């Protein structure tokens, strides 16, 4: 049977998470310095990167830990909550301005939906954060209502192939009727391929390279215009 569904990763696939995070963190640090954090931006930014590496990007108190580590003299005369608030506000302001999908993402999703194809996401992360991204990126109208799968919400984390198997089961799909598109060979290519799904490596914003034991993707693309051509010419979809 032909493809009935195309499912996507979100981060560094539908938008450049890595680039957005760099800009948002820089803006947060700048705001903290402007309000009174008496250290050079580069020093603060480097320490923030260490906090992120140690506590993970899903931790909720990065800026609090940052101030505990830096122990700036400014805290003698300024409430640390104000410095943290400045960083948080600047980070969220960056979300409002700059959190956008790749220009060719929505047109592809819309074309797939118009062609009667199930469109959805299988994403790794905390439920609230990933759901917020889906909303802010304007994806909701272009996704099938039952096809949003978030690892934290499901209790299954990538790269466990069970998260892909669950999506197939919930959508009533055979593995060979579904394609998954993602940026990580180990998390987005190897697991769905192990079930018999088609898998596409989206390289545009990927920070990853195939490792030993990673499966070979069915397709490798730099843009969704390339993927649209593949879907039309090799899979017979009217997109």
What CA–CA distance (Å, rounded) separates 162 from 168? 10
pTM: 0.92
Alpha-carbon 139 to chain mean position = 13
Whether 21 and 57 have beta carbons less than 8 Å apart is answered as yes
Domain covering 18-98 assigned CATH 1.10.10.10 in the classification: no
- Contacts of residue 129, defined as CB under 8 A and 6 or more positions apart, other chains included, come to 58
Cβ neighbours for 73, distance < 8 A, ≥ 6 positions apart:
38
Residues contacting residue 145 through CB under 8 Å, at least 6 positions apart: none
- The tens place of each residue's pLDDT in the chain, 239 residues long, gives 699 999 999 999 999 999 999 999 999 999 999 999 989 999 999 999 999 999 988 788 999 999 999 988 878 888 999 999 999 999 999 999 989 999 999 999 999 999 999 999 999 999 999 999 999 999 999 999 999 999 999 999 999 999 999 999 999 999 999 999 999 999 999 999 999 999 999 999 998 888 888 999 999 999 999 999 999 999 999 99
Q: Residue ranges of the domains in the chain?
A: 5-15+102-235, 18-98
Phi, psi of 6 (to 5 degrees): -125, 115
Q: Measuring CA to CA, which residue among 132, 111, 152 is closest to residue 15? A: 132
| CATH 3.40.50.1000 matches 5-15+102-235 | yes
């Amino acid at each position: 049977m032909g493809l009935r569904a195309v499912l996507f990763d979100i981060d560094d696939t539908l938008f450049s998470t890595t680039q957005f995070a760099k800009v948002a963190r820089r803006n947060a640090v700048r705001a903290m310095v402007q309000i009174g954090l008496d250290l050079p931006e580069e020093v603060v930014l480097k320490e923030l990167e260490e906090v992120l590496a140690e506590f993970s990007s899903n931790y909720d108190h990065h800026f609090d830990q940052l101030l505990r580590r830096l122990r700036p003299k400014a805290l003698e005369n300024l409430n640390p909550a104000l410095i943290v608030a400045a960083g948080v506000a600047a980070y969220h302001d960056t979300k409002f301005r700059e959190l956008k999908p790749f220009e060719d993402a929505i047109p592809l999703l819309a074309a797939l939906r118009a062609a009667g194809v199930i469109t959805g996401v299988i994403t790794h992360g905390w439920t609230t954060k990933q759901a917020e991204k889906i909303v802010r990126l304007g994806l909701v109208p272009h996704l099938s209502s039952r096809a949003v799968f978030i690892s934290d919400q499901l209790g299954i984390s990538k790269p466990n192939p069970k998260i892909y198997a669950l999506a197939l089961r919930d959508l009533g799909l055979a593995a060979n009727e579904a394609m998954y598109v993602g940026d990580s060979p180990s998390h987005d290519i190897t697991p769905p391929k192990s079930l018999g799904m088609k898998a596409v490596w989206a390289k545009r914003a990927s920070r990853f390279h195939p490792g030993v034991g990673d499966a070979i993707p069915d397709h490798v693309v730099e843009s969704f215009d390339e993927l649209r051509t593949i879907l039309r010419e090799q899979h017979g979809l009217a997109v």
